[in-house]
């Protein structure tokens, strides 16, 4: 470790340019094809159709808490139950197809939750070509966005849209986070990073073009928060929505056009290197 990056009292002694250079190197180290096989993002990478990537990616992100190996295994199990064609499954499933899902479990996510998720996707894709529309406010869907995409408004609106179907199971609401509930929305923000960020490194997909990467919010999990606090990029004690916004504001000072690329560095340092 560079001596200028040694920490004192929980703060980095590095000049901003030194910290940026260090995080840029770490981002480049992890943002490469070799990162994919051991990460949950490997599941949507098995598909080429946009809608398959979206659905597989969404389930993967929602399942992403705990051990990465377990996340991959359980999401892979679900994809197999959906005949490895999630888009076709959500649009054309029969009652017999749904019965195959009744024994599925992943931690606190059970068949009741899964059936509602399937119903939502069926409802959405009957009306829209892409899941991106679910994260756009009405004026953005019309191609008019005078103020720019706003993550807090979009994620709050998505929560209400997702649970707008009749007879929503009360228990299922806990599986979708919202800024209105002060959550950091780590899993949704991670999914958005996968779908929106675009580069030539082969990890993130860059499928969506109406949401600017500059407006994304960094996924804030335990590992990212711990490293961010060591570097003085996060001073808030709670890892909540305001904490995610504070971290992202600091990252925008390093790269205003693509702040969430530093998720690679912070996650890699915290989860893989145990920094």
Each residue's pLDDT tens digit, 147-182: 689 999 999 999 999 999 999 999 999 999 999 999
- Give residue 4's pLDDT band: very low, low, confident or very high (50, 70, 90): very low
Which pLDDT belongs to residue 13? 41
Each residue's pLDDT tens digit, 68-107: 999 999 999 999 999 999 999 999 999 999 999 999 999 9
Query: How far apart (Å, rounded) are the C-alpha atoms in residues 265 and 23?
Result: 6
Which pLDDT belongs to residue 174? 97
Q: Where are the domains of the chain?
A: 1-30+217-275, 40-211
Structure tokens that stand for 72 in this block: 């991959």
Q: How many residues does the chain have?
A: 275
Which pLDDT belongs to residue 11? 41
Structure tokens that stand for 4 in this block: 């200028």
Residue 269 scores a pLDDT above 90: yes
Q: Is 176 left (phi over 0), alpha (psi -120 to 50) or beta?
A: beta
**How many other C-beta atoms lie within 10 A of the C-beta of residue 116?**
20
Measured in degrees and rounded to the nearest 5, phi and psi for residue 78 equal: -65, -40
Residue 10 scores a pLDDT above 70: no
Quote the pTM value: 0.92
**Exposed, middle or buried: residue 215 (CB in 10 Å: 0-12, 13-18, 19+)?**
middle
């Amino acid at each position: 470790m560079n001596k200028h990056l040694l920490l004192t009292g929980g703060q980095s002694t590095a000049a901003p340019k030194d910290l940026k250079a260090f995080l840029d190197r770490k981002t480049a180290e992890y943002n490469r094809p070799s990162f994919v096989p051991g990460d949950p993002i490997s599941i949507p990478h098995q598909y080429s159709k946009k809608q398959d990537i979206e659905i597989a990616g969404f389930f993967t992100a929602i399942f992403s808490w705990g051990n990465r190996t377990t996340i991959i295994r359980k999401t892979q199990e679900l994809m197999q139950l959906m005949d490895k064609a999630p888009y076709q499954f959500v649009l054309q499933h029969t009652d017999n197809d749904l019965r195959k899902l009744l024994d599925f479990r992943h931690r606190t996510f059970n068949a009741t939750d899964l059936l509602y998720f399937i119903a939502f996707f069926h409802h959405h894709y009957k009306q829209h070509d892409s899941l991106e529309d679910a994260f756009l406010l009405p004026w953005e869907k019309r191609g008019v966005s005078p103020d720019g995409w706003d993550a807090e408004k979009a994620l709050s609106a998505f929560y209400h849209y997702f649970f707008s179907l009749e007879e929503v199971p009360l228990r299922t609401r806990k599986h979708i986070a919202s800024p209105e509930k002060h959550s950091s929305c780590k899993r949704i923000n991670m999914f958005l990073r996968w779908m929106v960020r675009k580069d030539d490194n082969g990890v993130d997909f860059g499928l969506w073009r109406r949401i600017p990467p500059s407006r994304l919010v960094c996924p804030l999990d335990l590992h990212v928060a711990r490293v961010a606090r060591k570097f003085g990029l996060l001073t808030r004690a709670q890892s909540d929505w305001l904490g995610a916004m504070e971290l992202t504001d600091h990252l925008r000072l390093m790269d205003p056009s693509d702040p969430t690329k530093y998720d690679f560095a912070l996650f890699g340092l915290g989860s893989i290197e145990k920094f």
